[in-house]
Amino acid sequence: MSIRFELIIFFLIISVLPLSAVVYISYDHSKVAIRDSVMTNLLVATENTGRAIDDWMAARRDDIRIISTIAGNTEKGKLQEYLYTFENEHQGVYEEFFLLNSDGNITFSTLNRTGNAGKEQYFIEAAQGKMYISDVSLSGITGLPEIIITNPVKENDTITEILCARVSMENLYTVIESIDIGKLGEIFIVNNKGELIFHQNRSKILLEKINNNFAVKEVTYEKRGVGEYINYKGEAVLGSYYWLPLYRWGLIVEKNKNEAYTEVLSLERLMVGISIIAVFCVVILAFFLSKRLTKPIKSLKDGANGLVRGQFKTISVSSSNEIGELTEIFNQTAIELLDIRKKLETKIEIANKDLEEKNRELIDANDELKKLDSLKSDFISLVSHELKTPLSAIRTSAEFLESENINASLVDKEMLENIIMSVDRLTRMVNDILDLSKIEAGKMEYHFEQVNFHEIAKVALENIQPLAKKKNIKVSVDIPGNLSPILGDREKLIIVLNNLLSNALKFTHNEGRILLSAKDDQDNIMVRVEDNGIGMQNDKLVKIFDKFYQVDSTSRRKIGGSGLGLSISSGIIKAHGSEICVESEPGGGSTFFFRLKTFGE
Ligand code: ADP
């Protein structure tokens, strides 16, 4: 869940909950107040109406009582005239005044009616000396609801006749109908049997009976009050009921609950509206506030992502609060991190290069090892071959000497010479190997001193003389007499010249030529050994200084050699601070040359 969403929820909770509580409490209080007010108004209106009915009926009773008194003291003609006048004055209230004699016969009627009412309840009751008010009934004359009030007319306490008044209820109804019951309300009066004696809809009067109504039940129990209930039509109503004991009437005023509570409903709508607007405002406010609060956090997040990808851009500090401080710290940290990263990258790059270098060295070392391995194989085959040849020669010579038939001393001598030569050859080879291993191990000992090159050239030339004669090769020397003395190891330089001259002899055909020359060359002398022998291809010239390398293995068989001579010579000349170079071409002879430092320079 994002911080922004959480903030919105938080704002909603802290604002909407108290707001809802306040709205609900005030709504509830207002609702109760409005309800109480509606109930009270209804009850008051009902009671006022009930009292108005009482007053109206009391006025009728008073009228009848007064007229009865007047009738007892007034002559007939005047009474009749008075009754007409009274009826006219109370038009709409009294429909008829009539008088009954002791038999119930009508002796006078303002409607000029005749007849007998001797069996009527109102006659029987009044004849017993008391005022009587009938139940509401539909008038036989007008067809409208009416009551009949009767009262005895007395002369000297003797009932002479009965005064009857037919009272129209319409006049009373106008009083009742003045109660405000709204459009959907209902107002009615029932008698103690539940029969309707008043209703807005006149056609229901005395024709319908209402029993299953809370108010009707209450009122027929002679109670007064107000309540909320479901009326006989199944509608929720506020009902007020008022019992008129004198007439055994129950006045019931019902207001439709929804209509009565219109104010409550509009209050409810108002409160809901206020709540919705408040929630909406809170959401908008929370939206903008959370945006403002989370914007720098989002920038920090984007910055951190950029940092991860190595594309960090500093975040602008938009506020001076804790988040602003955090942003500044983040920027500094990011810059430092990027710096560290750059340094690390450089170090890694260097380490990689080192690794590559080491790898290359390892590859080279591996190649070297392979080379050494093949050299070792070469060496073993060469040594075994080179050792086999002189050894078999020694064996053949020895067997020959052992043979009994052999007496000739000449042959003996030749055999012995062979043995000596082979032993010498083996000795040379072993010495060569020992010298080379010393050179390579850096353990060769040198005794540098002033050396006259003539001396060493002389020794070397003497060494090759026998073979040169044998091959009839002309060996020339070109060394000036005043050649500068050199700084070198005499014995080692003799070995070098021996090797180069014996190679020149080996690889030059019979009757060939060899030239050993030396001359001053600035602070050095330049020594050259030239022959007009078989020569070498250009690509072999670098390899001939390698150990055991021989250009032609077949020639090796014929000529012999270990392939170590040039390696040893090269090592010795290097120890003298110089290098042996070679120029050659196949069939065109070879020239080996090197410089030696003159003594004292
Ligand atoms: P080796 O004992 O075979 O002479 P070296 O180390 O002295 O060993 O020489 C290596 C090889 O160089 C020889 O086997 C030969 O093939 C070649 N080589 C040396 N000197 C000459 C030369 N003067 N003319 C032609 N080839 C030569």
The series of mean pLDDT values per 10 residues for the chain, 601 residues long, is 77 80 84 85 89 92 94 90 94 93 94 93 94 90 90 91 93 83 86 85 82 78 86 87 88 88 80 85 84 80 80 74 82 84 90 93 89 69 65 72 60 72 77 83 91 96 93 96 96 95 94 96 96 94 87 60 89 96 95 95 61
Domains held by the chain: number = 4
Structural contact between residues 564 and 547, judged by C-beta atoms closer than 8 angstroms: yes
Q: Which residues of 508-526 are buried (b: 16+ CB within 10 A; e: fewer)?
A: beeebebbbbbeeeeebbe
Token digits for 397? 């010579």
Contacts of 578 (CB under 8 A, 6+ apart): 524, 594, 595, 596, 597
- The mean of the pLDDT values for the chain is 86
Output the domain CATH number for residue 148: 3.30.450.20
Token digits for 181? 């019951």
Output the domain CATH number for residue 344: 1.10.287
Last residue of a domain, one of 221, 241, 261: 261
439 and 465 belong to one structural domain: no
583 and 466 belong to one structural domain: yes
351: amino acid identity, one letter: A
Any atom of ligand 1 within 6 Å of the Cβ of 68: no
415 and 514 belong to one structural domain: no
Half-sphere exposure of 372 (CA within 13 A, CB side): 6
CA-based nearest residue to 601, from 494, 488, 458, 481: 488
497 and 575 belong to one structural domain: yes
Q: Report helix, strand or coil for 242.
A: strand
Question: What pLDDT, on a 0 to 100 scale, did the predictor assign at position 442?
Answer: 85
Best mutation site among 503, 541, 553, 590 for ligand 1, i.e. most ligand atoms within 8 A of its Cβ? 503
350 and 483 belong to one structural domain: no
Question: What pLDDT, on a 0 to 100 scale, did the predictor assign at position 350?
Answer: 93
Any atom of ligand 1 within 6 Å of the Cβ of 394: no
Dump strand ranges (E) for 338-490: 449-451, 474-478, 486-488
Rounded to whole angstroms, the Cα distance separating 258 from 566 reads 128
Rounded to whole angstroms, the Cα distance separating 243 from 516 reads 165
**CA 555 / ligand 1 centre spacing (Å):** 10
Question: What pLDDT, on a 0 to 100 scale, did the predictor assign at position 509?
Answer: 93
Last residue of a domain, one of 217, 239, 261: 261
CA-based nearest residue to 94, from 70, 60, 136: 60
Bridge partners of 104, per DSSP, are none
Residue 550, domain member (yes or no): yes
591 and 455 belong to one structural domain: yes
472 and 592 belong to one structural domain: yes
Rounded to whole angstroms, the Cα distance separating 533 from 586 reads 9
Residue 45, domain member (yes or no): no
Q: pTM of this prediction?
A: 0.47
Rounded to whole angstroms, the Cα distance separating 479 from 517 reads 5
Residue 10, domain member (yes or no): no
Rounded to whole angstroms, the Cα distance separating 476 from 75 reads 207
586 and 454 belong to one structural domain: yes
**CA 430 / ligand 1 centre spacing (Å):** 18
515 and 412 belong to one structural domain: no
Question: What pLDDT, on a 0 to 100 scale, did the predictor assign at position 559?
Answer: 63
Ligand 1, closest atom to CA 529? 23
Half-sphere exposure of 306 (CA within 13 A, CB side): 16
Question: What pLDDT, on a 0 to 100 scale, did the predictor assign at position 300?
Answer: 81
CA-based nearest residue to 250, from 180, 178, 199: 199
Best mutation site among 425, 507, 559 for ligand 1, i.e. most ligand atoms within 8 A of its Cβ? 507
Q: Which domain holds residue 247?
A: 178-261
Residue 12, domain member (yes or no): no
